[in-house]
Amino acid sequence: MFAGHIGAALAIGRMERRVNVGVFVASALLLDIGLWLFVLLGWESVRIPADFAATHQPDFVFPYSHGLLAAAAWSAGAGTLAAWRYARLGKARWRAAALVATAVFSHWLLDALVHKPELPLAGDASAKVGLSLWNDMPAALGVEAAIVVIGLGLFLAGGRLARAKSVALAASSLALLAFTVAGMTIAPPPPSGLAMAASSLATLIAVCALFAWLGRRRRAPGAPVSDAA
């Protein structure tokens, strides 16, 4: 799942518009950023199986990024960082922190829905979970599309982004949905796990940067700097 995480981030970002939506997108993608970085470092692994062209499902060993215990730790860490970063919001910083932590943990929940049983509860030797919705790819992609459309609709409703940026955000979200559908249906197998990790990490960084830019508001002369969406 890729675009679905962005849809979840948009829905969560709707609840705290003083925080740049790019922060919520980066939070929702944090576990995958960690995964691909850890693969490049040799701490986790991804294998392209022989039936990839039919299933489009790599095999993962990813206890540090996608274990339940690890996801809870990453969520708590991101929430703590957000509480510090948004201290200017006063008591509302705890709301922002909770929403950032929720965005991070939403990634694990959505992945547990679609992955085969390969998400460990703790370390790699622990029990693994996954509801395998990807075994019914049309249903999985339908669910992902619904998450994107609902999240986008919630975020844009009552938003204060300039019209051009609203259109760009919608176009970007839908383009990423199309990219996800293509990746899970017609994309050829990656040449290697490391190549997949490098290209995926670069894509995630670019997407986070794009949404951070789209989420910035124009600052009035003399007004304090704000990165709110």
Interval 156-170: pLDDT, tens: 997 777 889 899 999
Strand partners, 120: 128
pLDDT of residue 219: 56
- List of the chain residues with pLDDT < 70: 218-229
Contact 101, 124 (CB under 8 A): no
| Phi-psi label, residue 56: left if phi above 0, alpha if psi -120 to 50, beta otherwise | left
> How far apart are the C-alpha atoms of 80 and 16, rounded to whole Å?
16
Amino acid making up residue 203: T
pLDDT of residue 218: 62
Strand pairing report for 119-120 and 128-129: antiparallel
> How far apart are the C-alpha atoms of 79 and 82, rounded to whole Å?
5
Contact 58, 36 (CB under 8 A): no
Domain assignments of the chain as residue spans, ordered by start: 3-215
Contact 109, 66 (CB under 8 A): no
pLDDT of residue 220: 46
pLDDT of residue 221: 45
pLDDT digits (tens, 9 = 90+) for 120-145: 999 999 999 999 999 999 999 999 99
